[in-house]
Amino acid sequence: MARFNVYPLAQRFSGQISVPGDKSISHRALMLGMISKGEMSIEGLSMCEDVIHTKQACVDLGIDIQTDGNKTYVRGHGLYGVIATDKRIDCGNSGTSLRLFAGLLSGQSKSLTLVGDESLHRRPMKRILDPLQTMGANIEGRVDGEEIYPPLHIKNTDALSHIDYTLPVASAQVKSTLLLASLYAQQNSLIVEPILSRDHTERMLCYLGAPVLFQKTPRTIIMQVSSWNRELLPNPISIPGDISSAAFIIAAAVITQSSVTISNVGLNPLRKCFLDALRKSGACIEEELVSQENMEPRGNIVVHKNKNRQSFVLNRQEVASCIDEIPILAIVAACSLGESQFYGVEDLEFKESNRIKTIQDMLSNFSVSSKYHDGILSIDGIGEQLFSKATIQTQGDHRIVMAAAIASLRANGVCTITHADSVDTSFPSFALTLQKLGVEIQAH
Ligand code: S3P
């Protein structure tokens, strides 16, 4: 198991970098390519381990996928054209793959099993199984007490019924599972979100010609399948850089008073709340919108050198819009003066690790105190002081590894981070990108 040794930053950096393709959009492009009719070209697909699992799963489902340089070609056979050549679909560490495939495959009259790694087998699935079973899906998991976990067994179903459903949790994965299952329902479905979550599935479905309608208040999505010809168009997709990967580099610049430009990043309004959170902490960040084409806005992010960082508060909607950035925002909060608070973080308990615990353990190892009570995480920032040098146990959670590595740039000695190889889950070139900026980070 590799570890990172990270040295305190000797000199502020200044540079321009790019990050791999957006992971969330990459999963969706492969899955929707798989059920569209014809050859879809995808530019800039992420090559991280999570997406590689989705890609392999599509191949195991009988889909031909070819790669040529930065382009991936998926030859879909239509909504019902999936053939399970392997009955065990391995989703690795990826909750998005497993949950979205569960929705997509429930309506396909196939029998197969969705499995994952040890961490994925500890993640709750009742949130998708309850509504899928209401739609008539023949899907079951491993029941333990009140909760249900993978593996998920899907068996033949004739046809799914529609659903009118208000999500009990703010979750793009649950919403997307139901949107994908709704493609296979006889009548129109209606899905209501308590808090807005990333909308990549809706955007891509619209772009490929699916009958998705929106109502604003409350935020409702209608899948109007009753008058649809049940065909998705294989329109070409170009994937912008992943703002959730960029977040680590941006935060590194902010906490070390460095400057950096990240080119060609996704600027979806429901993903870039992280930038507003940093601005609240006093960071000076510009967004240069380059294009709105091809369903998702994209552009460059310019981080200027800044000095003062103050504490900040994020409400439930803001937390939902930067749910994957909470580990790195916890580090920014720790470098700010005063108490920062994050409201509505309870679902972090069910991520790749129990992130409430792993974040608090990480902070405590860096000699920063934090409290968690009733869904609110409070962090006592230490301002200009340095973190104590530490060895951080990351439980193999990629976002904890990267957050801890960035924090180490402001430590009073060399820090060691465990499970360094888990960065491959989302950002395989993480260390290389930092090295290009002059950061001393070694895997050993
Ligand atoms: C994702 C949704 C989020 C996020 C995950 C990716 C997606 O999960 O944490 O990394 O691609 O839909 P939840 O929907 O469970 O919050």
pLDDT digit string, tens, across residues 66-94: 999 999 999 999 999 888 776 899 999 99
Which of 122, 317, 323 to mutate to test ligand 1, by most ligand atoms within 8 A of the CB atom? Answer: 323
Confirm if 400 and 327 have CB atoms less than 8 A apart: yes
Question: Mean per-residue pLDDT for 312-320?
Answer: 96
Task: Indicate if ligand 1 lies below 6 Å from the C-beta of 268.
Answer: no
Tens of pLDDT, residues 211-233: 999 887 778 999 999 989 999 99
Question: Mean pLDDT of all residues in the chain?
Answer: 95
**324 flagged as catalytic:** yes
Question: Do 183 and 209 form a contact (C-beta atoms < 8 A)?
Answer: no
Whole-model pTM: value is 0.97
User: Does the structure show a pLDDT above 70 at 105?
Assistant: yes
Q: How many whole angstroms from 101 Cα to the centroid of ligand 1?
A: 14
pLDDT class for 294, splitting at 50, 70, 90?
Answer: low
Residue nearest to atom 11 of ligand 1 (CA): 24
- Which of 173, 349, 351 gets mutated to test ligand 1 (max ligand atoms within 8 A of its CB)? 173
Measured between alpha carbons, how far is 56 from 91 in angstroms, rounded to an integer? 9
Q: Is 106 in the pocket of ligand 1 (CB under 6 A)?
A: no
Tell me the pairing of strands 138-144 and 220-223. unpaired
pLDDT band at 109 (very low <50, low <70, confident <90, very high): confident
Quick check: 140 and 112 in contact, CB under 8 A?
no
> Could you report the per-residue pLDDT of 220-273, keeping only the tens digit for each?
999 999 989 999 999 999 999 999 999 999 999 999 999 999 999 999 999 999
34-66 confidence digits (pLDDT tens): 999 999 999 999 999 999 999 999 999 999 999
Select which of 324, 347, 361, 397 is catalytic: 324
**Is residue 258 in contact with ligand 1, taking CB distance under 6 Å?**
no
**Closest residue by CA, ligand 1 atom 13:** 171
Instruction: Give the number of residues written for the chain.
Output: 444
Distance 99 CA to ligand 1 centre (A): 10
Distance, in Å, from the CA atom of 30 to the CA atom of 32, rounded to the nearest integer, reads: 6
Report in angstroms the alpha-carbon separations of 78 from 34, 40, 230, 407. 7, 12, 8, 47
Strand order of the β-sheet with 138-144 is 88-90, 112-115, 147-155, 138-144
Residue 19 — pLDDT band, cuts 50, 70, 90? very high
pLDDT at 87: 85
Would you say the CB of residue 172 lies under 6 angstroms from ligand 1?
yes
What does the pLDDT average to over 316-332? 96
Percent of the chain with pLDDT over 90: 91
CA–centroid distance, 413 to ligand 1, in Å, is: 34
All domains of the chain in start order, with CATH:
3-20+240-443 (3.65.10.10), 23-224 (3.65.10.10)
Atom of ligand 1 minimally distant from the CA of 24: 11
Question: Longest Cα pair distance anywhere in the chain, in angstroms?
Answer: 64
Looking at residue 252, its pLDDT comes to 98
Q: Quickly state the pLDDT bin for 387 (edges 50, 70, 90).
A: very high
Asked whether 244 lines ligand 1 (CB < 6 A), one says: no
| Confidence at residue 229, expressed as pLDDT on a 0 to 100 scale | 95
Residue 308 confidence (pLDDT)? 74
Condensed to tens digits (0 to 9), the pLDDT of residues 397-442 reads 999 999 999 999 999 999 999 999 999 999 999 999 999 999 999 9
The Cα 27–Cα 52 span in angstroms is: 9
